[in-house]
Amino acid sequence: MYIRRSTRTYKGKSYTNYLLVESVQTPKGPRQKTICSLGDLKPRPRKEWLDLARKLEYALAGQEDLLRPGDDPVLNRFVEKARARQPATGLPTSVSAAPPPLPLSSPMAGDPLPAASAPSAEEGEFIAVDPTRVTTEHHREAGPVHVGFQFWKRLTLDDILEDLGLSASTRQLACAMVLNRLIQPASEHAMPEWIRRTALADLLGANFDALEEDPLYRVLDKLHPHRAAIEAALVERERTLFNLDRTIYLYDLTSTYFEGLAAANGKAKRGYSRDHRPDCKQVVIGLVVNRDGFPIAHEIFAGNTQDRTTLATMLDRLKERVGLPEGATVVVDRGMAYNENIAEIKARKLHYLVASRQPERTRWLADFVDPEGFTQVLRQPSPRNPARKRPSSRSRPDARVNTLMSCAAANNASAKTTLSAPNRKAVCSLTSKNSVSG
């Protein structure tokens, strides 16, 4: 329905009238059908005209304004005029009347309903509600936790934890903690309050009204002994779900420090601090991810562990937990580019890609003076920042070499890659057809 203006001239004077009309389909095409005359609407602000038409349409359909039921005399007058004009259209007899229920055998109602579920006239009575006295409580956020819970189920994490012998309550708290890390990371102390602000209790069928932080700490204690099995099962599930390969593994380390003495933690030691907090004890965390960024395995080392001494341990963990097939490529940074580590990788029949340390770069400098045999690799702008300007990629054979990367296969074939400082271009020359190019 909509409002149409009608102008009529009588004895030299123009009169404006507004009609509520609707478009109906007839054998001769669409036509406008007048519902009722609204008279001169100028006493009302123009911006309220469309609102009045909508209210009138809803009222004629039996839908009353919940917040202001029947308190508009002008609207009530127009409703009565419309009903008087069209008595045979089956319009409700009052503004608050409800449309009749569908018959049990109606095609629109679907399959026949039991007689007990059929609404009766007495059950369909309406009541007035005072909005000023309506209150709400226990508001909960449902959207993010619902999405996260669907992924929890698709990864079958609940089944993985159940197979490890963890109880239902432990699995519920573990799910809540994982979703918190995913949506709004908080400490175990602040997590119970966040859980109560979400719909996790409804999703998990649990009651978190009295939840405190201590049970969350105990969940971590129960999960820790099973971390290797959880990682292995989760990696296998992700590999199936996302069709991940097993050809490239990227390994790096970081550290996290403790405020306080950490006397009960045997791995908390002082060492090289990436956080610039040499005064604090820390632990070193080693993490392996695949080419798509999915975590594969992790290990916690003592805080005074040197990066170069962790590679063999992490390769053992990879082999034990997820398998390390021959011919896979291991990518590490220059902190682990020592001869003993390269020999370890070769002994396991793996390929490797490392950033060479300064003595190694110096040994290869003479080979990069002549650009013959090298292929330029041009740096393209990032897809996330296409407006960013990249330096020129023009060849400069005499440019000072800043970084040399060395990559080799298990059969001692090698390749050499350099990155020149002035133009930031990389060139790579292969010395064997079996080499792994960086």
Q: One digit per residue, pLDDT tens: the chain, 438 residues? A: 667 778 888 888 887 877 777 778 888 888 878 877 777 766 667 666 666 777 777 666 666 655 455 566 766 777 777 666 665 444 444 443 434 443 434 343 444 444 444 444 455 567 777 888 888 878 889 999 999 999 999 999 999 999 999 999 999 999 999 999 999 999 999 999 999 999 999 999 999 999 999 999 999 999 999 999 999 999 999 999 988 888 899 999 999 999 999 999 999 999 999 999 999 999 999 999 999 999 999 999 999 999 999 999 999 999 998 889 999 999 998 888 888 999 999 999 999 998 877 777 788 787 777 777 777 777 677 676 666 665 543 344 333 333 333 333 333 333 333 333 333 333 333 233 333 333
Residue extents of the structural domains in the chain: 2-100, 143-227, 246-348, 356-381+397-438
Distance CA 273, CA 371 (A): 40
Reported as a single tens digit per residue, the pLDDT across 91-148 is: 444 443 434 443 434 343 444 444 444 444 455 567 777 888 888 878 889 999 999 9
Please give the Cα distance from 153 to 145 (Å, whole number).
12
Q: From residue 96, how far is each of 53, 101, 126, 295 by CA, in Å?
A: 17, 15, 7, 60
Sign of CA dihedral 274, 275, 281, 286: negative
Span 281-325, pLDDT tens digits: 999 999 999 999 999 999 999 999 999 999 999 999 999 988 899
| Residue 294 near residue 242 (C-beta atoms within 8 A) | yes
DSSP state of 4: E
Contact 67, 133 (CB under 8 A): no
Nearest to 410 by CA among 345, 354, 335: 345
pTM score of the predicted model: 0.57
Integer Cα distance of 292 and 343 in angstroms: 27
- Residue 136 CB partners (closer than 8 Å, separation 6+): none
